[in-house]
Copies of this chain bind each other. A is one copy, B any other.
Amino acid sequence: VRIAVLGTGNVGATLGRRWSACGHDVCFGSRDAGQPRLQPLLKQTGCRACDWPAAVEQADAVLLSVPWKSVFPVLQQIAGVVRNKVLIDCTNPLNASFTGLEMGFTTSAAEQIAERVPDARVVKAFNMVSAATMADPQYGAAPATLFYCGDDAESKAVVHGLAEGIGFSPVDCGPLSHARLLEPLAMLYIHLAFHGWGSHCAFQVVKRSGSFLPTETEDDDC
């Protein structure tokens, strides 16, 4: 997959590194592709950097991994070139102190993003896992779960593959509006991380076989 990674913070750099190591064609999108502090990352990964629109133009899938405050300015720059591309939204609409979300319930960052670039195929993913988990999703015998949601089956399959390829256990969580569930999940993760759990923690969905038959005589409302 040709991937444009927009934002070279911990999240973008880590996923870009890992996807590149898997053989995907990764281009980092940057405000200033020539800036010296990008050089170690480019040297290490062998990837190139371009400005945001040029990176998107060459890509099949785009990872939006800039801070929340930069999301709309970046979208404005790539709006003309993101048509039909898979846009992976791993942002969270965090407030300035990282203690809460700026929106929810009736909307979500992912839906706001999809509204701004309606011809992109937005998939919410990678927003509730730390960069440490992205670097290595394995926890003991099982990988961390990668929850994702979106309205387009084909682009969800792309994201599913990209997540599985770097070791996650991807779980389809339904339509894009379920970003209203996945962004609070990220907030829960952030709270736990800041309160003793650290960045080496993650969520898993676990499943077992079994039968449990409710008694017919039982009624919630008795």
Contact = CB atoms under 8 A, between A and B. Distances in A.
Interface of A: 7-13, 30-32, 35, 37-38, 40-41, 65-67, 70, 101, 103-106, 130-132, 135-136, 139-142, 144, 147, 171-174, 178, 180-182, 184-185, 187-188, 191-192, 195, 197-210, 212, 214-215, 217-222
A171 B144 CA distance: 18
B205 A206 contact: no
Contacts of A214: 9-10, 131
A181 B174 contact: no
B184 A220 contact: no
In the complex this chain forms, how many copies of it are found? 2
Contacts of A105: 101, 103-106
Given A200-B212, A207-B198, A37 B219 contact: yes
